[in-house]
Amino acid sequence: MRQRLAEIILNSLNDLKKKGVIPEKVEIPPIHFEIPKDRKLGDLATNIAFLLASIVKMPPKKLAEEIVHNIFLSHEDIEQVEVAGNGFINVFFKPLYWQKILVQIRENFASFCSPEIGKGKRVNVEFVSANPTGPLHVGHGRCAVIGDALARILQKVGYEVTKEYYINDAGRQMEILGKSVFIRYKQALGQEILFIEEGYQGDYIVDIAELIIIEKGDLYLSLSDEKVVPLFTKIAADSILEQIKKDLEKTRIKFDIWYSEKKLYETNAVEQTIQLLQKKEWIYEKADALWMKTTAVGDEKDRVVIRSSGEPTYYASDLAYHKDKFERKYDRIIDIWGADHHGYIDRIRAITRALDFDEDKLSILLVQLVRLLHGKKQVNMSTRKATFTPLNEVIEEVGVDAARFFFLLRRYDSHLDFDLDLAKKQSSENPVYYTQYAHARICSIYRELEKKSLTLPPPDTSLLQSIEEIEIIKKLSLFQQVLIEAAETFEPHRLTFYLIETATLFHKYYNLHRVISEDLNVSSARLYLVGVVKMILAEGLQILGITNPEKM
RNA sequence: GCGCCUGUAGCUCAGUUGGAUAGAGCAACGGACUUCUAAUCCGUAGGUCACAGGUUCGAAUCCUGUCAGGCGUACCA
């Protein structure tokens, strides 16, 4: 439609050239249409007169009028074209146009919901990737839900999506985890030793220690750290990871790949990556340590890859990991991190530069931190000190639907306050119910129809003429575009807001017009419309991983 | 100090990628249930888009500076 309109305007402009109103040599910029926010301003509007005004030295309004006067209007879908404001050209469609759109959406619903912009392209979304040193907290939950919803959206628009979790199951933090368990083990068996300051203090560590006692008793009590800690590390990591998987499953999140950092060491991938980078002179030696030249990509200093002690840093395995991800030949790689990792961006960018990977394929999304509140008091969220609130607890308290919807209710780069004291109240005020309610209400209309056992005539969409009905169709027609935009900008919240707005239009309509009435023809047409609303709501909620109840 | 993010109604947030008179929800006030579900709807009130410049036909949106908040700035993760 936009294309055809652009042609009409272009024809008019060419005509004006012939008439000498505008100079022949003027180059006409692409004619762009947008949807005005006020419906009184028409269905589509273009600013072309503004763009041309300065070039042809005419007031925009005058130019717009010339353009409109020159339009030979014979298009069956267009009601009128008018000039408004200082020179906008507004186009109004006939109801017939929208009625046809409605039928198109319904008849081709599956393809309408699955624009194939990503067809044949593979994308990897890596998110959460929390260390298996403790349960997931609310902050992880936000990343988890956003990443998952984004993956679902990308899938919907045709991409082949891989959801990946990178498990940091190697390195110093894991050793501390093992030590923490060992100390709790000893303490539980009656030894009086102090807990280490950097240790993990959560109760779950005690639980793991007690489980070991139940299974093996005091078998390890007299053994040395070197012998026990690696074993305890593994037991703890496995157990915690198990819990993480359960929590994610409860949040309706399933990963395709669980990628182990430890494997990168076992297969020598880290070593090989470092050797390769050394050969390419991106890694050099200084003060007994190996350094990566991250300053070459704008970092403020070079970063250590191998410590002088010979121990690799996490950066070492991250290099190998991203090298591997690139070598798996995705068309797009998306990393979703907590915003506190932003200093890491340059470091990861360095590898794409060093190994000649296409930098544009990598997108790093920083999800802003969740600030946890107890009423007015801020709660510090530390895994080590165990002062966090587990995601698990929140999900149980407010439910998966409300929790997911809540996290998808704002842009990922906005800071989020999560007030635990209000969590329950928030859940009852959560717009998720408003949206689901619209769906349930429509289902209820169908039930009513069945109860009355009415047989309706085939729908005649030309009966859908009211402002509210046309407004709803307009909104429905945007669904595909919203999906595409959410996918292209990596912003799932756009879909959330769209669904709320659609629900709003429906609720208003519902209060104003009865769907099922004595006039069977009208009833049939309205049911047809409302049926599409239901389909769109169900589809949208499903994409966000939220249920669409038929009764509430 | 430097870097990243944020600053929009009392509160929580949107804002169609630079468009027309800046919008929702919550909270406040006033209305609508013998009706397909009132978890809804209608109305009133609420604003110097942090501040100051700049770019142009046009700025909440882009640029510069200032202020405020958050985060980062390790041979921690």
Nearest residue to A432 (alpha-carbon basis) of A456, A413, A407: A407
In whole angstroms, give the CA distance from residue A422 to residue A473: 36
pLDDT at A303: 94
- Phi and psi at residue A371, in whole multiples of 5°? -100, 120
pLDDT at A124: 97
Assess contact for A541 and A156: CB atoms under 8 A.
no
Q: Which nucleotide's C1' sits nearest to the alpha carbon of A526?
A: B36
Give, in Å, how far the C1' of B32 lies from the CA of A510.
14
Local confidence band at A254 (pLDDT 50, 70, 90 cut-offs): very high
Mean pLDDT on A365-390: 74
State chain A's mean pLDDT as an integer.
92
Mean pLDDT on A362-388: 76
Instruction: Kindly provide the ipTM of the predicted complex, given to two decimals.
Output: 0.95
Protein residue with the closest CA to the C1' atom of nucleotide B35: A514
pLDDT at A385: 72
Distance (Å) of CA A74 to CA A6, A11, A63, A547:
15, 13, 22, 46
Give, in Å, how far the C1' of B53 lies from the CA of A60.
28
In whole angstroms, give the CA distance from residue A201 to residue A191: 17
Which residue in this structure is represented by tokens 């929390």? A130
pLDDT at A540: 98
Q: Structure tokens of A516?
A: 């099922």
Q: Structure tokens of A468?
A: 């509210």
pLDDT at A162: 98
Nearest residue to A352 (alpha-carbon basis) of A386, A308, A393, A319: A319
Q: Which of A19-28, A229-238, A331-340, A486-495 has the lowest mean pLDDT?
A: A19-28
Mean pLDDT on A502-509: 96
Question: Does position A345 have pLDDT exceeding 70, yes or no?
Answer: yes
Q: Which nucleotide's C1' sits nearest to the alpha carbon of A412?
A: B5
Give, in Å, how far the C1' of B74 lies from the CA of A304.
10
Assess contact for A106 and A532: CB atoms under 8 A.
yes
Give, in Å, how far the C1' of B35 lies from the CA of A513.
11
A306 vs A197, residue with greater confidence:
A306
In whole angstroms, give the CA distance from residue A69 to residue A46: 15
Nearest residue to A189 (alpha-carbon basis) of A225, A216, A163: A216
Give, in Å, how far the C1' of B53 lies from the CA of A28.
34
Mean pLDDT on A195-220: 93
Q: Which nucleotide's C1' sits nearest to the alpha carbon of A35?
A: B16
Q: Which nucleotide's C1' sits nearest to the alpha carbon of A310?
A: B75
Q: Which alpha helices (DSSP H) does A79-137 contain, by range?
A: 95-107, 109-113
Question: Does position A378 have pLDDT exceeding 70, yes or no?
Answer: no
Alpha carbon A386 to its chain centroid, in Å, reads 28
Protein residue with the closest CA to the C1' atom of nucleotide B58: A50
Question: Does position A390 have pLDDT exceeding 90, yes or no?
Answer: no
Distance (Å) of CA A228 to CA A186, A194, A234:
12, 18, 10
Give, in Å, how far the C1' of B56 lies from the CA of A462.
45
Q: Which nucleotide's C1' sits nearest to the alpha carbon of A410?
A: B13
pLDDT at A376: 57
pLDDT at A21: 86
Give, in Å, how far the C1' of B77 lies from the CA of A332.
26
Give, in Å, how far the C1' of B47 lies from the CA of A484.
33
pLDDT at A291: 95
Q: Which nucleotide's C1' sits nearest to the alpha carbon of A37?
A: B16
pLDDT at A501: 96
Question: Does position A66 have pLDDT exceeding 80, yes or no?
Answer: yes
Assess contact for A128 and A136: CB atoms under 8 A.
yes
A302 vs A389, residue with greater confidence:
A302
Q: Structure tokens of A508?
A: 């208003």
Q: Name, of A107-111, A201-205, A296-300, the range with top average pLDDT.
A: A107-111
Nearest residue to A140 (alpha-carbon basis) of A428, A430, A426, A372: A372
Nucleotides of strand B within 7 Å of the protein's CB atoms: 2-7, 12-17, 19-21, 23-26, 32, 35-42, 56-58, 69-77
Q: What is the DSSP annotation of A328-355?
A: TT-SEEEEEEEGGGGGGHHHHHHHHHHT
Q: Which of A76-90, A166-180, A316-330 has the lowest mean pLDDT?
A: A76-90
Nearest-5° angle of CA A57, CA A60, CA A61?
A: 135
Assess contact for A463 and A436: CB atoms under 8 A.
no
In whole angstroms, give the CA distance from residue A430 to residue A407: 11
Question: Does position A75 have pLDDT exceeding 60, yes or no?
Answer: yes
Q: Which of A192-206, A365-379, A403-417, A456-470 has the lowest mean pLDDT?
A: A365-379
In whole angstroms, give the CA distance from residue A174 to residue A170: 6
Q: Which nucleotide's C1' sits nearest to the alpha carbon of A493?
A: B14
Q: Which of A105-109, A315-319, A365-369 has the lowest mean pLDDT?
A: A365-369
Which residue in this structure is represented by tokens 């076992």? A266
Alpha carbon A27 to its chain centroid, in Å, reads 40
Give, in Å, how far the C1' of B57 lies from the CA of A341.
43
Q: How many CB atoms lie within 10 A of CB A343?
A: 10
Assess contact for A130 and A83: CB atoms under 8 A.
no
